[in-house]
A and B are shown apart, each in its own frame.
Chain A
Amino acid sequence: MDLNPAAAAQDVTPPVGRQSGPVIMDLKNITLRFGGVVAIKDISFDIREGEIRAIIGPNGAGKSSMLNVISGFYVPQQGEIWFDGHKRGPMRPYQVARLGIARTFQNIALFDGMSVLDNIMTGRLNMMTAPLWSQALWWGRAEREEVENREEVERIIDFLEIQNIRKTPVGRLPYGLKKRVELARALAAQPRILLLDEPMAGMNVEEKEDMCRFILDVNDEFGTTIALIEHDMGVVMDLSDRVVVMDYGRKIGDGTPDEVRANPDVISAYLGVVQE
């Protein structure tokens, strides 16, 4: 992995020996309803700094809804969201993004008309503060800013090994690469928490392995806190530090992969065993 050594040195986060930091996000008694349908029922869990936190569960368990609550796309009817020690009021998704919570989507939401580079640059839009005239004339602060942000973006491009498609319009890329570009765009925002909605859905084995490696590397090298949803049980158990298991909108398990694997409720939800 060819990573800028200076940047890596800058990173104060110690190499994660799978020891996570303090709680960065705390979800308390979240309930989300759509009309009469209860998508999430009274769920509480937390995310610690520097960890990989997975949310798993069968189809329709409410995993994506949970992610959408965290990223502000859905506003829960009940419950509290604490981020970085502060209670978060009702927020719009763009405000949540500005807090430092970046995300990817299950069915890829990229800017198809733009190049890979431009797509990733949008991740840094909120870090550019130069006045409009200065940007339009490419002069003064704007130029400095653009160069700085561009360097950061190039670093991420190197990191995710997508140098050769930098100038390609995203619409032309195959599925697996699109997923990677989406990850790059989310990373470009240098998020406090990175939310991944089924990062490996629809990928072949090779692409899955690549993506797994990238997720682990991101967590290691940048110390990024990651919360992800995934169907593939094997992948989740290998990747994550702690796992929340959901079924029919409820939390039925929470703990390390081993603890969760041993949890009878989880086994029955996944294997359909009826508990007497």
Chain B
Amino acid sequence: MEILYASEVLLNGLMAGVMYSLVALGFVLIYKASGVFNYAQGVMALFAAMTLVGIMEGRVPFAHLINAAFGIHVSSFGWTVPAIIGIALTALVMVGLAIAVEKLVLKHLVGQEPIILFMATIGLAWFLEGLGDVMWGADVKVLDVGLPQGISDRVEAATNAWFGYGFFIDRLDIWATVIAAALVAALVGFSQYTKQGRAMRAVADDHQAALSVGISLQFIWIMVWSIAGFVALVAGIMWGTKSGVQFSLSLIALKALPVLMLGGFTSIPGAIVGGLIIGMGEKLFEYFIGPMVGGATENWFAYVLALIFLVFRPQGLFGERIIERV
């Protein structure tokens, strides 16, 4: 019984890890392609989720501003939009955001130190945060794109029949796993086998060389930020469905950090494996060790694990080894 319960915890941990991986993926993509640690990735997920809810519920963007400016009271168009169209429209908004970021921020910072770019993304994070609130209101929103939630009866029945103990598995977690797997397969296929993917890797490696073979940096940056925006949208949908669309959603980025330290900042598989290890580790740690130290270990366990990792493998599990030639 004990072992069964532990494996249930393990399984849930793995699937929680997938949710972390979804966020970490966005970081890896941008870091790989432009060497920028995009602090705004978490807020991008929040912004995407807010926009999706706003579009689906037919909310009027900037309603507060419009009402204040014209002395009227509008809040809704009075229609609702199906999830699939809402997702497509939100993806377009994220592409628009990518173009704006390139034109207004990145373009002017070409060749600057990475720390400057990092600072710029911090600014971007707070700007987006505010923009989201102004556009769609700061209230806690419910996001329902039709993903199933709650205990999976089938898994419970099956495990009950096999082991005499029903596993509690959230159907949303199962979906998250499937979607994450599809997303990773698509991303790997894209970056390994397509011309644009090859160009993206080229830009990540050397800007000058990329220019000399006819690659437009601008185009690649917009593309990468669009993809990162799309990944943020997926993460936003999953987390938003799970815990509501609210400010705390942007803090999931903090959960992605230890995942990145563990998996390496430059590896897509690393983001996945790192997420799984963190998710699994923190659940098991809480289960076995938690009671001895008074619980609430999930808040800090991931960071401690990541720090220990930093000591032994600073480049992460799958990161590129840093070899300094002297």
A112 at the interface (CB under 8 A from B): yes
B305 at the interface (CB under 8 A from A): no
> Assuming A118-B198, A128-B195, A132-B194, is B204 touching A113 (CB within 8 A)?
yes
CB distance from B62 to the nearest CB of A (A): 34
- State whether B212 touches A102 (Cβ < 8 A): yes
- State whether B206 touches A92 (Cβ < 8 A): no
Closest A residue to B32 using CB positions: A113
A83 at the interface (CB under 8 A from B): no
Closest A residue to B189 using CB positions: A136
B248 at the interface (CB under 8 A from A): no
> Assuming A111-B202, A113-B204, A113-B205, is B212 touching A71 (CB within 8 A)?
yes
A98 at the interface (CB under 8 A from B): yes
CA distance A113 to B194 in the complex (A): 17
CA distance A123 to B213 in the complex (A): 5
- State whether B199 touches A125 (Cβ < 8 A): yes
Q: Type the 1/0 row for A166-196, where 1 means its CB is closer than 8 Å to any CB of B.
A: 0000000000000000000110010000000
- State whether B198 touches A121 (Cβ < 8 A): yes
- State whether B212 touches A93 (Cβ < 8 A): yes
B141 at the interface (CB under 8 A from A): no
* Chain B contacts for A128, CB-based, 8 A: 195
A135 at the interface (CB under 8 A from B): yes
A73 at the interface (CB under 8 A from B): yes
CA distance A92 to B206 in the complex (A): 16
| A interface residues (Cβ-Cβ under 8 A, vs B) | 71, 73, 92-95, 97-98, 102-105, 109-114, 118, 121-123, 125-126, 128, 130, 132, 135-136, 138, 185-186, 189
Known contacts A97-B212, A111-B210, A122-B199, then 9 further A-B pairs from the complex at CB < 8 Å, ordered by chain A residue: A92-B211, A92-B216, A111-B201, A111-B209, A126-B213, A128-B195, A132-B194, A138-B193, A189-B214
Q: List 13 A-B contacts (CB under 8 A).
A: A92-B216, A109-B212, A111-B201, A112-B206, A113-B204, A121-B198, A122-B199, A122-B202, A125-B213, A125-B215, A126-B213, A135-B194, A185-B213
| B interface residues (Cβ-Cβ under 8 A, vs A) | 186, 189-190, 193-196, 198-199, 201-202, 204-206, 208-217, 320
